[in-house]
């Protein structure tokens, strides 16, 4: 293989020295920062027998909806799993061990929801109806979490928010199995691996974007008031005991603002479930 490579290299050097417009254009297009590079990558991917990103497959209505559902599912779970321990520490004063225990219901019930959805799909052959109903219920549940976690926490204590999220997680677990099944049904046998991998990639990307957005909303809401931001930082470091030392009026104001920040964050997470519900209701694949 050395001779063809050497000849190609010599021809490239000669073209560059001669100022060939074609070689100059190609070199500019191949630069990593060139805005036309993604277009060139897409064109190459369409020509490849085994593309890294099967664009023809991913552009199908059912396929891109399935990947978007996977992204929103990742955004939901990772955002909840990131915000929950912060709330347990800052508002409820839970220790590290208690936080770990209280997060188990959330992580467990998502899997339970996925298992139930998989069994229902196998028995009925219906696909889209389960995440359509499940994600709608999850969105409503997250809105209830956003605006009702205070009263529920007053009744159930620190377990109030974990219990609410555990119930919501059963419904939000309905999306991933259907996303995976839909992608596999759209792919030819030779591309089943690429189709499955695209779902996992979408979930990972969605997780990163979702937690960034949700945490951004939380910190923006709490950072508008410097005094509240300082109190919140102390509460995260030292637990809810940091609020006890405040004067009664300041403590009430801090609690109200902190709860408002978490309400804004969970309302944002509810939007991910709303998007998932819309995707599921409009999914072209209704039955296997």
Which range in 27-41, 233-247, 267-281 is most confidently predicted, on average pLDDT? 267-281
**Confidence grade of residue 12 (pLDDT, cut at 50, 70, 90):** very low
Q: Indicate if the pLDDT at residue 18 is higher than 90.
A: no
What value does the mean pLDDT take over residues 113-141? 95
- pLDDT value at position 242? 84
- pLDDT value at position 134? 96
The whole-angstrom separation of Cα 113 and Cα 76 is 14
Higher pLDDT, 54 or 267: 267
- pLDDT value at position 11? 45
What value does the mean pLDDT take over residues 45-73? 80
Instruction: Give Dmax (Cα) for the chain.
Output: 83
DSSP string, 170-239: HHHTTHHHHHHHHHHHHS-GGGHHHHHHHHHHHHHHHHHHHHHHHHHHHHHHHHTSHHHHHHHHHHHHH-
User: Which residues belong to CATH 1.20.1250.20 in the chain?
Assistant: 55-281
CA-based end-to-end distance of the chain: 48
Q: Looking at the DSSP assignment, which residues form a beta bridge with residue 287? A: 126
Q: Indicate if the pLDDT at residue 44 is higher than 70.
A: no
What value does the mean pLDDT take over residues 114-132? 94
Return the minimum-mean-pLDDT range out of 49-58, 147-156, 275-284: 49-58
**Interval 171-186: pLDDT, tens:** 999 999 999 999 988 8
Q: Indicate if the pLDDT at residue 15 is higher than 70.
A: no
Selected from 1.20.1250.20, 3.30.70.141, 1.10.40.50, 1.20.5.510, the CATH number assigned to the domain covering 55-281 reads 1.20.1250.20
**Interval 237-252: pLDDT, tens:** 988 888 888 888 888 8
**Confidence grade of residue 28 (pLDDT, cut at 50, 70, 90):** low
pTM of the predicted model as reported, rounded to 2 decimal places:
0.81
């Amino acid at each position: 293989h050395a001779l063809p490579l050497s000849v190609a290299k010599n021809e490239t050097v000669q073209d560059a020295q001669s100022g060939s417009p074609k070689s100059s254009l190609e070199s500019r297009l191949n630069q990593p920062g060139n805005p036309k590079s993604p277009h060139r990558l897409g064109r190459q991917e369409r020509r490849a027998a085994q593309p890294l990103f099967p664009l023809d497959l991913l552009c199908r209505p059912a396929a891109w909806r399935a990947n978007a559902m996977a992204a929103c599912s990742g955004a939901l779970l990772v955002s909840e799993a990131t915000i929950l321990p912060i709330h347990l520490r800052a508002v409820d004063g839970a220790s590290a061990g208690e936080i770990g225990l209280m997060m188990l219901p959330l992580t467990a019930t998502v899997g339970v929801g996925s298992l139930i959805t998989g069994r229902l799909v196998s028995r009925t052959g219906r696909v889209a109806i389960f995440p359509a109903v499940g994600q709608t219920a999850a969105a409503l549940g997250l809105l209830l979490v956003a605006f009702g976690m205070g009263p529920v926490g007053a009744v159930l204590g620190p377990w109030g928010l974990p219990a609410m999220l555990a119930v919501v997680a059963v419904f939000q677990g309905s999306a991933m199995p259907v996303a995976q099944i839909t992608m596999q049904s759209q792919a030819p046998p030779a591309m089943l691996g690429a189709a499955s991998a695209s779902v996992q990639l979408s979930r990972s990307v969605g997780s990163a974007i979702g937690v960034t957005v949700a945490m951004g909303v939380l910190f923006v809401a709490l950072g508008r008031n410097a005094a509240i931001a300082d109190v919140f930082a102390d509460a995260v470091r030292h637990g809810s005991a940091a609020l006890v030392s405040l004067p009664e009026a300041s403590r009430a104001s801090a609690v109200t603002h902190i709860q408002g920040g978490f309400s804004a964050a969970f309302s944002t997470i509810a939007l991910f479930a709303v998007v998932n519900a819309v995707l599921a209701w409009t999914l072209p694949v209704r039955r296997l």
